[in-house]
Amino acid sequence: MRACWGLAGGGVTGPPLRVCGHHATRGRIPEGGFRVRTTGKNPFGPFAHPVSAVAATSAWIALLLAFRSQPQWDLAAAAAFFDSAACAASPVASGQYCAGFTFSGLPFLATVRQLLHPLPALLGIGLMIVLAVELRAGLRWHNPGIRLKVVLIGALILGPGLIVNGILKAYWGRPRPWMTEDFGGWLPFVEAGTETDLCASNCSFVSGEAAAAGWLMCLALLLAIRRRFLAAAILGGGAIAMALLRVAFGAHYLSDALLGFFMTVVLFMMLAALSEWLAARRS
C-alpha cells in the first residue's frame, strides 16, 4: 500500500491536498510524475475582494479623522481607567509619573497580557515553518494554502513589525497616557496622528500590541468563514482583550488601540486582494 498524507491547502470549501509518495493530487493519485492540482479557490473569502479592501481603508481613515476631531474620546476612555486618588497616594506622585492606572497592577490582568503578548509571534513562526515545509514539498503560488500563509506572514511583518514599531511608534512622538499632565505625567496631550517630538521612542501612536492583536483577529475571521466558530470566538476574544488591556493599563489611548488593531486587518485585506489578483493573472 502507498502511504499518504494530507495538507490543508485548499480553498474555503475545497478538499485537502493528498500526497502519496512522490505524487500529489486532489481526489485520486496520478499514475506518473509529480503533479499538484488545486481547485484555485480563494482562501480568504470576502476579505480578498478589492471593494472590501477599499472600504476597510476608507473606514480606517474616517476613524483617524474622527479621533482627531473629537480628542475628548481619548481623554474620556483613559479617564475611565484612571484613579486620581491612587495617583495622589502613589510614592512617585511627586516625580514624573504616578500609579493612577490601577488595572496595570492587578496580577491576573498582568498574567493575561503576558500570555497573549507572544502569541502572534509564536503563531507567525509556526506559519513560517509550515510554509517552508510546503514549499520544499513542491507547493507553489497557485496553491491557495501557500497564498494564505504568505499573506498572513506578510501582514504580520509589514503591519506590527515595520509600519507600527519601525515607523509610527518610533517617529510620531505621541506621549502615552501615563506620560501626560491629565494623568499625573509631565507632557501635554497630543491628538491621534499628530507628529511631535515630545516622546523620543517607543511612543503611543499606534499600539504595537493592538496591531498584533489585529493579526490574531485576521486568523479568527479566517476560522469563522470555515465555520470553526468556537475557535474563532476564542481567538477573536483574546485579540480584543489584548488590545483593550493597553488602554486599561494607561499605555495607550483608545485611538492608538483601535487604529493599530484595524490597521493590520486593513493591510491583511489589501494583501489578500493583491494575492488573488496575482493568482488570477498567472492562471
Cα→Cα distances 174→78, 244, 247, 263, Å: 15, 18, 15, 17
What is the grid cell recorded at 88? Answer: 495622589
Kindly give the pairing relationship between strand 4-7 and strand 23-25: unpaired
Blockwise average pLDDT, block size 10, the chain, 283 residues = 38 39 37 34 95 97 98 98 92 69 96 97 98 96 96 98 96 96 94 96 96 98 97 98 98 98 98 96 82
Length of the chain equals 283
What is the domain range of residue 4? 1-41
**Are 144 and 104 contained in the same domain?**
yes
Question: What's the pLDDT at 41?
Answer: 87
Helix, strand, coil tally for the chain in percent (to 5): 60, 5, 35
Question: What's the pLDDT at 9?
Answer: 42
Q: Are 209 and 202 in contact (CB under 8 A)?
A: no
**Are 27 and 145 contained in the same domain?**
no
**Are 60 and 21 contained in the same domain?**
no
Question: Mind giving me the DSSP string for 114-155?
Answer: HHHTTHHHHHHHHHHHHHHHHHHTT--TTSHHHHHHHHHHHH
**Are 32 and 50 contained in the same domain?**
no
**Are 15 and 132 contained in the same domain?**
no
The whole-angstrom separation of Cα 199 and Cα 123 is 31
Question: What's the pLDDT at 193?
Answer: 96
Task: Give me the number of domains the chain comprises.
Answer: 2
**Are 21 and 83 contained in the same domain?**
no
Question: What's the pLDDT at 94?
Answer: 46
**Are 166 and 184 contained in the same domain?**
yes
**Are 66 and 154 contained in the same domain?**
yes
Question: What's the pLDDT at 91?
Answer: 75
**Are 64 and 15 contained in the same domain?**
no
* Cα pseudo-dihedral 38, 42, 44, 46, rounded to 10: -160
The whole-angstrom separation of Cα 19 and Cα 238 is 35
Q: What is the pTM of this model?
A: 0.84
**Are 9 and 97 contained in the same domain?**
no
